[in-house]
Amino acid sequence: MKRKFCFVLTFMFLLMNIVPISAQETSLPLQSEAVILIEENTGKVLYEKNSSQKMYPASTTKVLTALIALENADLNEVIKVGNEVYQVPLDASKAGHNPGDEITLKDLVTSLLLPSGNDSAFVIASYLAKKNTGNDSLDINSAMTEFAAIMNERAKEIGVKNSNFVNPHGYHNENHYTTAYDLALITREALKNPVFREIVKQPSANIGSESSPNQQKLSFRNRNLLLDSRNSNTYYPYATGVKTGFTDEAGECLVASATKDNLNLIAVLLNSPVDARWNDAKTLFDYGFENFQFHQVAKKGDIIDKVYVDKHSPKGPSELEVLIKEDYTGLFHKNDISRIQKTISWAQEPLVAPITEGQNVGEVTFILDGEILSKIELIAKYGIEKRTIWDVMFSINAIPYWCGGIGGVLILFTISNAIRKRKSRRGFHFK
């Protein structure tokens, strides 16, 4: 008997601690070690695996380098390439700059992002470090240290907390690391820049001009094969960017973006097996587009309730139509939309007249799985006057009281009259 009782208790305990699998708790067949999928406009995380794990970013570092360049120099600014390009390791990717070349900032950022030019990264870092310090004679090592400080400061402003950058290109260094989540934040910030968006979505680009002999003409193919329509195995029709990366230590990396049906998604995949990042990115994007959507939960001006108002004037309505003061649209898993709940709390219960048009009368709270999504003020659609003493005296509701009062007076009058007559008769008798 004791055994049965213990078994029942154990079973009940387990039932109490089972957490229902929500729509977001999905396991995708991904080979990358660390991944994250976010929606760009809201920053909402739609899927993640090891997204806070320390990882090496390789050339996806250049997303931050490009952002800093675009924020701190004019697009048409002409930059002269120096000997810093000789710092590029032999096995690193290059755009093909030579000392003495003159190149606009926009072309330099294009060279940084599409062919993943480490030489472009050195030129940008050296130029901006000298500009920031006001020292044109700054040596290359000091320039890299200065630019790394700029990178870390900008990353901190974005909200990055688990990253450290020591160079502008992502060539392997034990102290140069990030997380999938941090990279998603950086990319989200970079995509706010229209020039960055324009550059990273290009499958190919040509730079340089014939107007200046020092501006070398170069042609690039974007290393992001999601954008390459010639390759059906890797092409993704909704892809809009962003950046690839690879070192032996980091593995194959990819920061990608895609747009479909008003959803702008960002995917980060770190340490992927050879050629696995393309299908992993497609899997993440398909999951996001198929399962999530923006849904308008509340519309400004909608009537959310009709409620009785106490002490209202009989000349007007007795019930008040209550409006939502502002819109609320959220990004939801499609299966969660029908489960959104709302609760209303009134400023006073019951509502009491007088009430003026537009007056705050309460608040509606939208909730999903116990989490508060939004709280929105409720306002009166119209005014309701308070009843006066005259309204009370001459209202329909007062008729029974009037009848009772008149009836009472008549009864008293009848009784009084009867008593008076009786007294009158008694007095005549004694005479």
Q: Domain for residue 350, yes or no?
A: yes
Are 276 and 308 part of one and the same domain? Answer: no
Q: Domain for residue 1, yes or no?
A: no
Are 282 and 303 part of one and the same domain? Answer: no
Are 169 and 261 part of one and the same domain? Answer: yes
CATH number at residue 344: 2.60.410.10
Q: Which of 158, 180, 205 is nearest to 255 (CA)?
A: 180
Report the alpha-carbon distance of residue 92 to residue 168 in Å, rounded: 13
Report the alpha-carbon distance of residue 361 to residue 52 in Å, rounded: 44
| Per-residue pLDDT at 7 exceeds 60 | no
Are 348 and 277 part of one and the same domain? Answer: no
Q: Domain for residue 16, yes or no?
A: no
Are 332 and 414 part of one and the same domain? Answer: no
Q: Domain for residue 183, yes or no?
A: yes
Confidence of residue 213 (pLDDT cuts 50, 70, 90): confident
| Per-residue pLDDT at 399 exceeds 70 | no
Weakest mean pLDDT among 276-285, 355-364, 411-420: 411-420
Q: In this predicted model, what pLDDT tens digit does every residue of 8-62 receive, in sequence order? A: 333 333 333 323 324 446 899 999 999 999 999 999 999 999 999 999 999 999 9
Are 375 and 415 part of one and the same domain? Answer: no
Q: In this predicted model, what pLDDT tens digit does every residue of 143-179 receive, in sequence order? A: 999 999 999 999 999 999 999 999 999 999 999 999 9
Are 350 and 395 part of one and the same domain? Answer: no
Are 340 and 369 part of one and the same domain? Answer: yes
Are 71 and 206 part of one and the same domain? Answer: yes
**Boundary residue ending a domain (242, 258, 292):** 292
Catalytic residue among 59, 111, 120, 126: 59
| Selected residue with higher pLDDT from 2 and 209 | 209
pLDDT of residue 12: 37
pLDDT of residue 21: 29
As a whole number, mean pLDDT of residues 366-391 equals 90
Q: Is the dihedral of CA 26, 30, 33, 34 positive or negative?
A: negative
Angle at 49 (CA atoms; ends 290, 29), nearest 5 degrees: 55
pLDDT of residue 412: 77
| Selected residue with higher pLDDT from 314 and 86 | 86
Distances (CA, A) of 247 to 4, 98, 122, 379: 60, 24, 18, 59
pLDDT of residue 41: 96
Q: Under 8 Å CB-to-CB from 99, ≥6 apart: which residues?
A: 81, 82, 83, 85, 86
**Boundary residue ending a domain (268, 292, 316):** 292
- Note whether 65 and 104 are within 8 A (CB): no
| CA contacts within 13 A on the Cβ side of 33 | 17
Are 285 and 320 part of one and the same domain? Answer: no
Q: Under 8 Å CB-to-CB from 86, ≥6 apart: which residues?
A: 99
No. of helices (H) and no. of strands (E), the chain: 10, 17
CATH number at residue 266: 3.40.710.10
- Note whether 200 and 223 are within 8 A (CB): no
pLDDT of residue 411: 79
Confidence of residue 398 (pLDDT cuts 50, 70, 90): low
As a whole number, mean pLDDT of residues 106-120 equals 98
- Note whether 233 and 254 are within 8 A (CB): no
Any catalytic annotation for residue 59? yes
Catalytic residue among 62, 106, 130, 282: 62
| Per-residue pLDDT at 429 exceeds 80 | no
- Note whether 253 and 244 are within 8 A (CB): yes
Q: Domain for residue 316, yes or no?
A: yes
**Boundary residue ending a domain (292, 320, 339):** 292
Confidence of residue 401 (pLDDT cuts 50, 70, 90): low
Are 75 and 105 part of one and the same domain? Answer: yes
Q: What is the DSSP letter of 60?
A: G
Q: Is 352 helix (H, G, I), strand (E, B) or coil?
A: strand
As a whole number, mean pLDDT of residues 310-331 equals 93
Pairing state of beta strands 328-333 and 102-104? unpaired
Report the alpha-carbon distance of residue 99 to residue 143 in Å, rounded: 17
Any catalytic annotation for residue 116? yes
Report the alpha-carbon distance of residue 106 to residue 94 in Å, rounded: 17
Q: In this predicted model, what pLDDT tens digit does every residue of 250-299 receive, in sequence order? A: 999 999 999 999 999 999 999 999 999 999 999 999 999 999 999 999 99
Catalytic residue among 116, 126, 163, 257: 116
Angle, helices 62-72/118-133, rounded to nearest 10 degrees = 40
Q: In this predicted model, what pLDDT tens digit does every residue of 114-147 receive, in sequence order? A: 999 999 999 999 999 999 999 999 999 999 999 9
H or E segment and range at residue 78: strand 78-80
Considering the chain, what is the average pLDDT of its residues? 89
pLDDT of residue 22: 40
pLDDT of residue 378: 97
Angle, helices 105-113/118-133, rounded to nearest 10 degrees = 140
Q: Domain for residue 17, yes or no?
A: no
Bond before 194 cis per omega within 30 degrees: no
Q: What's the total number of domains in the chain?
A: 3
Q: Domain for residue 11, yes or no?
A: no
Lookup result for tokens 């120096």 = 82
Are 78 and 116 part of one and the same domain? Answer: yes
Any catalytic annotation for residue 94? no
pLDDT of residue 390: 58
Q: Domain for residue 175, yes or no?
A: yes
Domain range for 398 is: 389-422
Burial track 42-60 (b if 16+ CB lie within 10 A, e otherwise): eeeebbbbbbeeebbbbbb
